Structure 1
Amino acid sequence: MSDLVLYTNPMSRGRIARWMLEEVGQPYRTEILDFRGGHKSPAYLAINPMGKVPAIVHDGTVVTECAAICAYLADAFPQAGLAPASGSQARGDYYRWLFFAAGPLEAAVVNKVLKVHVPDDPQMRGMVGYGSLEAVLETIDGAVSRTEYLAGDRFSAADLYVGAHLGWGMQFGTIPKRPSFEAYAGRLYGRLAAVRAREIDDALIAERQASGAA
């Protein structure tokens, strides 16, 4: 049996990694790091010097960053069918949307929350990878409106990652509730693995709140 460990906090992007692990269906151990210093402990900084969650360790291999974790797990456990075949058009779409969400989508949404203003000047906008939040949202809207899944005719880690961003953003008001977004995220969030992951993390939140932990 492989050694697979998730380092996370249930009130973090670690929820995405948890969902991916539940989709993979392999045994894994969870280490919960609190935000009162646990994520900055020497032991964890040896795993991720950024002191951020999530991270996974699989047979000694450390992977951080949610998109990388999703891509790694899909390749490490191909039997789960979470990545299209190498060299296929669907594989190209898979990489495109995984990293579109990790780059332009997340950056545009975070900048909006932080009220970072990009000057309305073509040269300045050209320096910003996402251009504008509206352009990013229109691009995602077009993609999820055209087809049920983003990479081929079946669910993949790209859907999980994009769907998690849309679901999280709509829940907290950082992404507008467009009908296409709600329909797409709704289909994905109904998956059994997604439900299991939410139940695990929600139970951990309730437990930690009851004990006064962060």
Structure 2
Amino acid sequence: MIRLHHCHQTRSMRSLWVLHELGVDFEIVLHAFDKTLRAPEYLALNPAGRVPALEIDGEVMFETAAITEYLCERFPDKGLGRLPGEIERMDWLTWVHFAETISQHAAALTQQHVALYDDSMRSPIVMKLEAKRLEKCYAAIETRLNANYDRAPYLLVGGFSAADISVGQAIYMSRHFARIEPFPALSEWYGLITERPGFQASLPPEGAELLYQKEFYEAWDG
């Protein structure tokens, strides 16, 4: 039995996308993005009070990169991972974990633009600084994709993998705060991977309560 605890438009979407791409049977427990994640019942699954939490065969995991690694090793025939000893293993691990570098900047901007309820709490300096940091992440992805241009349209020459899922989901969140259009290779790659049925199935359904009420949040000048 596989059960994913999930909130729309959060890091748990990364695990949801992996599960859809794997094509395995699983259940979703949908949570609101609020203080109910601090309830004792949920803290027993994820002591940080965040999503995701993955219940699998009587055990519980949290942290998206760990979940990604475990699922790819558990279902190696799906080709989403690069196993120990394989030539692309090092690069695969690097990009799976680079997603969290992107996400930490997106999370800081989510706090500034969405979570803080009073303008006096917001910092124009933090908003602009974190948006620039996202652009530096975009530049790193752009460089990688350009290096692969003649061999593959993905982060790894060996083809689509959970590295694309991890980074792609991080971009899905971060593009609310830093535009990807100035990065042509990144934009083309993002368009390609988000056409996949696995990504589409991971999006919030129509009418769902969304974390992001705007398509894009401009930096605030105070």
TM-score class, shorter-chain normalisation, is 0.7 to 0.9
In structure 2, do the counterparts of structure 1 residues 73 and 184 end up closer, same or farther at CA, with 3 Å as the change threshold? same
How many positions carry a matched residue from both structures?
A: 190
- For the pair 1:164 / 2:169, whether they are aligned, the reply is yes
Question: Out of 88, 106, 109, which is 2:103 matched to?
Answer: 106
State how far apart, in whole Å, the 1-side matches of 2:105 and 2:165 are: 19
Q: Give the TM-score, by structure 1 length.
A: 0.77
* Deviation for aligned residue 1:207: 4.9
Match in the other structure for 1:48: 46
- 1:8 is aligned to 6
Deviation at 1:62, TM superposition (A): 1.8
Residue 144 of structure 1 corresponds to 145
Normalized against structure 2, the TM-score is what? 0.75
Question: SS in structure 2 opposite 1:89?
Answer: coil
- Per-residue CA deviation, residues 44-77 of structure 1 (Å, 9 max, x unaligned), is 1001111101111111222212222222211111
Measure the CA separation in 1 of the matches of 2:107 and 2:34.
Answer: 23
Shift of 1:151: 2.5
Distance 1:77 1:106, change over 3 A: same
Looking at structure 1, the residues matched to 137 and 5 of structure 2 have their Cα atoms a distance apart, in angstroms, of 30
Distance (whole Å) between structure 1 residues aligned to residue 7 and residue 135 of structure 2:
31
What SS class does the counterpart of residue 29 from structure 2 fall into? strand
Partner of 2:82: 84
Structure number with higher helix proportion: 1
> 1:23 corresponds to which residue?
21
Percent sequence identity over aligned pairs = 28
**1:125 alignment partner in structure 2:** none
Tell me, yes or no, if the aligned pair for 2:135 and 2:178 is still in contact at 8 Å.
Answer: no
Would the alpha carbon gap of residues 145 and 197 (structure 1) be closer, same or farther in structure 2, given more than 3 Å must change? same
Question: What residue is the counterpart of 1:122 in the other structure?
Answer: none
Compare 62-71 and 21-30 and name the one that shifted more. 62-71
Alignment partner of 2:85: what SS?
A: coil
1:173 aligns with 177
Deviations 1:98-129 (A, max 9, x none): 112223x3334445665449x9xxxxxxxxxx
Structure 1: which 5+ residue stretches go unaligned?
120-131, 210-214
Report the Cα distance in structure 1 between the residues aligned to 2:33 and 2:105, rounded to whole angstroms: 25
Is 28-37 or 132-141 further displaced after alignment? 132-141
2:160 matched residue in structure 1: 155
**SS in structure 1 of the partner of residue 157 of structure 2:** coil
Q: 1:35 to 1:100 in 2, by over 3 A?
A: closer
RMSD: 2.6
2:93 is matched with: 95
Paired residues of 2:109 and 2:177 also in contact (CA < 8 A): no
Q: Write the letter of the residue equivalent to 1:137.
A: Y
